[in-house]
Amino acid sequence: MGIRKKIINIFKLRSKSGSVISRELNIPRSTVYHNLKQTKKRQSEAGTDFWDSDEGYAFMIRLVVASIYSFAVKGGFGAGKLKTYFEMLNLGSHLAVSETTVLKIIKEIEALILKYNDAKTNEIKTNVQEIELILGVDETWFDKMLLVCQELQSGFIFCEESAKDRSSKTWDKHIKKTFGLSE
């Protein structure tokens, strides 16, 4: 049984004496008394006993990850602002909310996103089917000349790049770049 589970069990068994809890969970009495004291201290703030339950802990994890993803990864907020945010939510007594810890979680989430991208890319590569593309190329002028390469059946635009000329050499360079072909 992990430490978190033991602490939650202490919370659930708090109506029993510290010695009984210690024996039932097979953990030192000093740990039980320390956690009971911390729980009582946390619960002096209204509504915080929810966080000591399994459901509350699971929700807290979702809240932290969703906040970090939304505000830091997607929104560009730093670890310091998130630390302040978590402190304003009174989560400091239940979580480690230092800037260092928040930054560590940001980096873990970013790494997991990259890992997910790699897994999805590999899955796509293994399941990919060869399809026939009918490409159309053209130039268009607004304030400058743009080279446009479009798949004619779907209308998907593969390339829309500005260029100084529309020579075959220029087109060749842009098409190879677009499709990742070596020059």
Residue 70 has what pLDDT? 93
The pLDDT tens digits of the residues spanning 62-88 come to 999 999 999 999 999 999 999 999 888
The pLDDT tens digits of the residues spanning 113-156 come to 999 999 998 888 888 777 787 888 887 777 788 888 888 888 88
Burial class (CB in 10 A: 0-12, 13-18, 19+), 21: buried
**Tokens at 109, concatenated:** 């989430």
Question: If pLDDT is split at 50, 70 and 90, which confidence band does 169 have?
Answer: confident
* 1-15, 74-88, 160-174, range with the lowest pLDDT: 1-15
- CA 132 to CA 119: how far, in whole Å? 26
Cβ contacts of residue 183 below 8 Å, gap of 6+?
A: 173, 176
4 pLDDT higher than 70 = no
Question: If pLDDT is split at 50, 70 and 90, which confidence band does 14 have?
Answer: low
The number of beta carbons lying within 10 Å of the beta carbon of residue 161 is: 14
pLDDT (average), residues 168-177: 83
Alpha carbon separation from 130 to 32, 126, 133, 156 (Å, rounded): 63, 11, 10, 17
**Regarding predicted confidence, which is higher, 172 or 8?**
172
Three-state secondary-structure class, residue 51: helix
109 pLDDT higher than 70 = yes
Residue 24 has what pLDDT? 74
Residue 13 has what pLDDT? 62
7 pLDDT higher than 60 = no
Say whether pTM exceeds 0.75: no
Q: In which residue are the tokens 């210690």 written?
A: 22
**Residue 181 C-beta-side C-alpha neighbours within 13 Å:** 8
Residue 116 has what pLDDT? 93
**Regarding predicted confidence, which is higher, 57 or 42?**
57
**Tokens at 52, concatenated:** 């000591």
Residue 66 has what pLDDT? 93
Residue 141 has what pLDDT? 78
